[in-house]
Structure 1
């Protein structure tokens, strides 16, 4: 969900997608995401379009500056509102600032200065933490044990006595946690769900602050999350659900093959093989070189086509970094192949599973239907179409429709 987003099929650029919001496909996708999150308070379309409009295609430094400057301006306004006692305004602005700075973090990945990314991330996280502290809901900070580096999380609690039905929001590969909240957290809380958000291995603070990489066996992540939640008196252990966005469309089903304490699960979209988004545009001779067991030659071949300080090289390093393989692109391509759900594993899923399936899925086309076919006894496929504005990866311009559909299904399934 950054500047390397593939161009959607031309038929999806017809109404209501005519023209787009930016000439660069990746920039355009970011704007769609930002506008979509506005329906739950994660942005304001006017300030988004005003900031993004002047940036030309391929201007990654300008794209970063546009989001950073917008985020920092709104963060300053939020701090001013808090200082003058306007706490509702402060919380709203802190959330928007966190989202804008989250886009700046993704844009910083394509810059040659690696220090910029960490600095921007810490500013983003300051805005998010200020929102959590001032959001007006009870929030419990929870640390989930996970090896040598615990996972930080926040449990938002609804009004009223518990124990509460609880929805775990599982992030994807690079989304800001504030955007995760405005995807589904806020509307779920409004319906009386407790909502838990956290950073898993390779995600956000775990990657940028501690260097903890992804892992394919996500049951080792969600099992301790469930343990931490069910140990609380305010969580109803019989009414736990989980929702996974983007690459978590693989992680959540993988975890469900072992961790079966969830009463329901949703993935947006379904993913059975993460590696296809990496290999889809790789020349056959490069795949053969990689399969031949010569990662050094593979890396050298890629470097010949990538200027070391180019945005493309920086983005490749950013994509490889969460897999914990150092600077070797070949090692990253091999590592991502482990993120694959087999039919044998899928047969162990017992949890009711809703799978979104948008028109024009850019990253994992056809995999939602494939996951549904692998889990026919427990899964339901929910189509989102271009005609209703629900096209493209994670339905960026249909977040109200998606939230309504998903939460209705969870209400019916969990109770």
Structure 2
């Protein structure tokens, strides 16, 4: 019997993972597997333009279905279509980020967010658009209130995004499950993420306590929130953001990271040849930049991947970017975490292998490590084809931590 790591939708690992991540959202209604597989069929493994157009076209087609249903008064069908369209536009946005030109980035992001907002307005849920005060600006987000929640105060889950995810992925990874279990939920764009990056030009920052503390302050001022039962969930690179913040912000009742990330930079440095690592350690930035530029000139894949991953850091040169990324580590501060912490640990983790175990070792008094396996169909980064199982395990743990 073929194992999940042996079966692929594409010979390109990045393309394969995008397909897995998108169809994994079918569990929460944010994708329909057949229409996804039909749309990407025949797109070449290295056809970046074709990959982008396939997802953009699928989003356009499903959004048009949503408009037709809405104009005929079929709000349930319309909401379903716009949620799926938003998901497909989000995948198109990731594809656009790897194109040679940035011309498609902002229009695609705005198309994605417009579809998401159409869903927000049509779906039978209590959702409030919010602006969270942050330094001299604000962070946009959405506050979801649990359906049929009669209690005067309710638990709330803050959902933190990774490096490039869209709001539709947060719906699927945590908000959908939270609402079904009587939690309110809050999602937002932090520095370097989505609207903060594409529309406001605000890059990543390593000290995420400066981000999550204002979010928590905002949450605690909202009516109906049980201040003793506010938890936080972080997916993908938020497996770093959340532990970093928890080392300094101790008011969260519990936290989940999916997976754990101790050192963000290893997903970059593990792919560098030893001579390039030596140049970095010696501080020879000029030669490092020269050699990287030469490599990108002869490898479109390298150029596109670098462009996609470096953009949120707000840096310019290759060495400057690497030195920025090297700051994203919790190795020295993880011991300060006092919040109960659930850490997912998927088999065949392809970006931060072994780091969930490392984070658990650094936080032995507060952490619980939960493994996900190939045999369960739950391997690979953030268990893309096992979100129902992930939801079950993390919310069962969270219910118990919050004595629900």
**Residues in 2 aligned to 1:370 and 1:103: alpha-carbon distance in whole angstroms:** 31
183, 198, 218: which one pairs with 1:208?
198
**1:278 maps to what in 2?**
268
Q: Structure 1 residue 160: deviation in Å?
A: 2.4
**Residues in 2 aligned to 1:182 and 1:374: alpha-carbon distance in whole angstroms:** 29
1:225 partnered with 2:215: yes
**1:26 maps to what in 2?**
14
* Regions of 4+ moved over 6 Å: none
Q: Structure 1 residue 312: deviation in Å?
A: 2.9
Secondary structure at the residue paired with 1:210?
coil
Q: Which moved more, 1:289-298 or 1:222-231?
A: 289-298
Alignment of 1:6-21 (within 5 A): 14-21=2-9
273, 277, 282: which one pairs with 1:292?
282
**1:366 maps to what in 2?**
354
Q: What is the TM-score with the length of structure 2 in the denominator?
A: 0.97
Contact kept, 8 Å, 2:159 with 2:186, in 1: the verdict is yes
68, 71, 75: which one pairs with 1:87?
75
Q: State the Cα deviation string for residues 177-221 of structure 1 (Å, max 9, x = none).
A: 111111111121011110100000000000111110111110110
Contact kept, 8 Å, 1:23 with 1:56, in 2: the verdict is no
**2:327 maps to what in 1?**
338
Q: Structure 1 residue 16: deviation in Å?
A: 4.2
Contact kept, 8 Å, 2:4 with 2:379, in 1: the verdict is no
**What CA RMSD, in Å, does the superposition of the two structures yield over aligned residues?**
1.4
Q: Structure 1 residue 348: deviation in Å?
A: 1.2
**Residues in 2 aligned to 1:160 and 1:398: alpha-carbon distance in whole angstroms:** 28
152, 155, 158: which one pairs with 2:140?
152
Alignment of 1:15-414 (within 5 A): 15-158=3-146, 159-161=148-150, 162-307=152-297, 310-325=300-315, 327-343=316-332, 345-414=333-402
Contact kept, 8 Å, 2:295 with 2:302, in 1: the verdict is no
Q: State the Cα deviation string for residues 99-149 of structure 1 (Å, max 9, x = none).
A: 101000000111112011111111001011111122211112221111233
Contact kept, 8 Å, 1:184 with 1:403, in 2: the verdict is yes
Q: Which moved more, 1:310-319 or 1:112-121?
A: 310-319
**Residues in 2 aligned to 1:14 and 1:274: alpha-carbon distance in whole angstroms:** 32
Q: What is the TM-score with the length of structure 1 in the denominator?
A: 0.94
Query: CA 1:309 to 1:18, structure 2 compared with 1: closer, same or farther past 3 Å?
Result: closer
Q: Structure 1 residue 310: deviation in Å?
A: 3.1
Query: CA 1:120 to 1:311, structure 2 compared with 1: closer, same or farther past 3 Å?
Result: farther
**1:10 maps to what in 2?**
none
Q: Structure 1 residue 17: deviation in Å?
A: 4.7
Contact kept, 8 Å, 2:87 with 2:168, in 1: the verdict is yes
Secondary structure at the residue paired with 1:356?
strand
**Residues in 1 aligned to 2:110 and 2:292: alpha-carbon distance in whole angstroms:** 32
Query: CA 1:72 to 1:93, structure 2 compared with 1: closer, same or farther past 3 Å?
Result: same
Q: State the Cα deviation string for residues 340-379 of structure 1 (Å, max 9, x = none).
A: 0124x11211110000000000000000000001111100
Q: State the Cα deviation string for residues 17-44 of structure 1 (Å, max 9, x = none).
A: 5431122221111111111110111100
**Residues in 2 aligned to 1:228 and 1:397: alpha-carbon distance in whole angstroms:** 34
Secondary structure at the residue paired with 2:119?
helix
Contact kept, 8 Å, 1:258 with 1:348, in 2: the verdict is yes
Q: Structure 1 residue 55: deviation in Å?
A: 0.7
Task: Give the count of matched residue pairs.
Answer: 401
Secondary structure at the residue paired with 1:240?
strand
